Amino acid sequence: MSDQSDSENNAKNQAGADAYGADKLSQLKGLEAVRKKPGMYIGGTDERALHHCVSEVLDNSVDEHLAGFCTRIEVAIHVDGSISIRDNGRGIPVDINKDSGLPGVELVLTTLHSGGKYGQGGYKFSGGTHGVGAKCVNAVSEWFEVEVSRDGLVHHMKFERGQVVKKLSVIGKARHTGTYVTFKPDAEIFKETTVFVSARISQRLRELAFLNSGLEIVFTDERPADPKPETYLYKDGVSEFVKQLNQGKTPLHPTPVRITKETHLQLDDKPIEIHSEVVLQYNDTYNDQVLCYTNTIHNPDGGTHLSGFRSALTRAINQFSKANNLLKDKDPQITGDDVREGLAAVISIKHSDPKFESQTKVKLLSPEVESVVGSATYEGLMMYFETNPSIAKRFVDKGLNAARAREAARKARETVRKGALSGGGLPGKLADCSERDPAFTELYIVEGDSAGGSAKQGRDRRFQAILPLRGKLINTEKARLDKVLSNEEIRTLITACGTGIGEGDEAVGGFNADKARYHKIIIMTDADVDGSHIRTLLLTFLYRQMKGLIERGYVYIAQPPLYKIKRKKREQYVDNDEQLNRILLELGSEDVVLTRLQDGHEFAKDKVDQIVENLAALEKLGGGVTRYGVELPVYLDQHDKTTQVLPRYIARIREGNKESHVFLADENARAAFITGEGLDADLSADAPRPTGPIRRVTLHEIFESNEMAKLLRAIAAIGLEINQFTATAEPRYTLTENIGQKSENKTNLTSPLDIVAQIRGNGRKGLSIQRYKGLGEMNPKQLFETTMDPEKRRLLKVDITDAAKADALFTLLMGDEVPPRRQFIEDNALNVQFLDV
């Protein structure tokens, strides 16, 4: 029996070997590998990876600044969801590369592991080291365009999903040099979202301006109705960065300590150059914030520069305290945790050949950096202490007070831990769930016993636990840990979560995210002032003492519906204004008939829905056109009647009080217009000056034209006549609304865009809209259906997109300093949408 089995297995293995030959092996060519495995190159396909694409292109412009050739970068988010980045650097080379036979710009945007950052002399310091950044962005973009101004000419090239669709060509003359990249993320890759978050990008740009003194960065988000450019330019660079980190806090010394050092090493017969800059300033709070950068790239997980700085800081402060007999025998030892209390610091190094943990560069691995940064920090601090002994003594006192508080907190934490172990474990007010695998459980932190009772009755007991909190928590931003732990509600929350809190040894209650009893911790409070305050207090505590839960993505905020609408027998909860607009269109298109008067054709119900959806999207994108003084119907009438392609550029001509527009189909039309208008002519002092009224010509690129053309094609395919969008003298459509059994209302329409406006108006008829406020207004069944049912609810994940900004906001809103908070309220009072008084 055994021999027979062996024989069968051998035959099967041989057959498998015969079937598995070289012809079964495959190779992904070009950028296909990036599209197949985007996580390997840009870290995933989520929102974080989406914004990493911006950083990859942006870092190339910053590298030009580091090389000494770029002084200005412009970044703009466009209405269609694309983004553009322009710099005044040297411009990507456009001549033919002798090895590949391709133009330089095509080589670096289509061929992996190609570029000027491998030591050939293109860049001394650069954020890019792997040669995969910009070409990966090209690969995961629906379309990607690049303009290079170099050698007096403007060169243009276009790609779609990494493939060349327009070869490199000259489209005009250039007065300056630089690179201009525009791309739109591909929804086939970024299935979670393709929407750029303005705050996330602006914070990164501000960060780059801090780290590169003298670099001017201008950011514009064109999606709001009234876009306002923001300019970032900092003369004192990193020192100003640290001062911003301490905004709203009281510094212990007025001027930050700045330490710089230039180091030259020889590693493996290769010369290495490292420029270190460390800037630190203590404040009166109990939290530390140390940010690390390598060649202006943020390293959120730190690395060797962070470890070198930390050990040197501890050694320097202890050395000064011992040399000056500042510690008594009964005083506790000052540890690394103690000297970091109240510390704000930025470590920025420039390394000619850095080594990172991954392509996303979250952690620096270069071992030589630890000793370089460590020695620079220690020597710089000891020199500073010698010349500023009174400030140095404040550093020691701050660390000593932290050490004493640490001992008190350790005892309090031990008490909490022992109480959890010996007192029956979980708190009595916690209604736990039956599931024991944390990956499948949820903890709802609910405001008050009343809402907590409804949540307990309405929940799914298998995996949903409820913890009602009575009253308001202690403000952990203003209190030391030992006082925080004396608060009963805080102790209850710590015990329920099971992770411990703060830094330190797990054995005495230190935080350990692996011990989390729930992988979804959901804050559910009323949509009023008290609910917002309680939510803020909870987030403050979690951010300061359980930050690991937020970093792992375990913390969420429940999103109760914003409106309750009623119409006839229909009753529905609405989450937001965007959904309300969709519902208005949906209601307005019920019981209506759209007729094309040209031939009497009546559109089917599903076709009407598609027409309305596409026309509404067209209206939204139209904001990118109307800001240049062109009415949307006028622009839409410029479309090609066969392909529906719209002009890519608008020339705005202002002469005296008159204004006119010229529509330019593409780059070639733009180049011809520029030449014909003499816009690239000699403007030197000797050139003749025009007479008469001043004629101003500005060129605007309509980035939304591609998306609008797609919508036009979809609308035309349904059968809507779109040759003309401007209103005509005679009606072209009739919208008939069935009001009753025998009654109907007919409206004549003279433009396709009138269809959306009329249907939206119909949707408001007979509709009651109620602003929804509190959890207490719903019974247990309604609460579950709207806010707790995993199939229907909306949850907002709490994400620290930028630690510096989060830290500053918590300090501003919850800290001791009143004037900055009052200023914030005054500045933002008019932005409040729903005021609860």
Active-site amino acid positions: 447, 526, 528, 530
**10 Å Cβ neighbour count for 716?**
16
Contact 194, 185 (CB under 8 A): yes
Q: 399 is written with which tokens?
A: 């660390």
d(C-alpha 530, C-alpha 532), whole Å: 5
Strand extents, DSSP E, 92-215: 141-150, 153-160, 163-173, 178-185
DSSP assignments along 308-326, one per residue: HHHHHHHHHHHHHHHHTT-
Residue with token string 């804050």:
523
Amino acid at site 823: Q
Print the SS3 string covering 255-310.
CCEEEEEEEEEEECCEEEEEEEEEEEEEECCCCCEEEEEECCEECCCCEHHHHHHH
* Beta strands per DSSP E along 568-648: 570-574, 592-596, 601-602
Query: If you search the block for the tokens 């011809």, which residue do you land on?
Result: 672
Q: In angstroms, rounded to a whole number, what is the distance separating the alpha carbons of residues 246 and 342?
A: 9
- In this structure, the strands spanning 442-447 and 520-524 are parallel
For 394, residues 6+ apart whose C-beta sits below 8 A from its C-beta are 252, 253, 282
- Please return the burial class of 572, using the count of CB atoms within 10 Å of its CB with bins 0-12, 13-18 and 19+: middle
Residue at token pair 């209190």: 479
Alpha-carbon distance of 145 to 165, in angstroms, equals: 10
What is the full DSSP assignment across 379-417?
Answer: HHHHHHHHH-HHHHHHHHHHHHHHHHHHHHHHHHHHHHH
Reading the block at residue 404, the tokens are 């004493």
Q: Is 220 helix (H, G, I), strand (E, B) or coil?
A: strand
Cα–Cα distance, 299 to 362 (Å, whole number): 4
Name residues whose C-beta falls within 8 Å of residue 534's C-beta, 6 or more positions apart in sequence: 447, 469, 472, 473, 525
Structural contact between residues 643 and 673, judged by C-beta atoms closer than 8 angstroms = no
Q: How far is CA 79 from CA 82, 157, 708, in A?
A: 7, 22, 11
Please answer whether residues 253 and 110 qualify as being in contact, where contact means their C-beta atoms are separated by less than 8 angstroms.
no
Question: How far is residue 441's CA from residue 171's CA, in Å, rounded to a whole number?
Answer: 59
Cα angle: 336, vertex 337, 338; to 5 degrees: 90
DSSP structural state of residue 334: P
* β 83-87/178-185 pair status: antiparallel
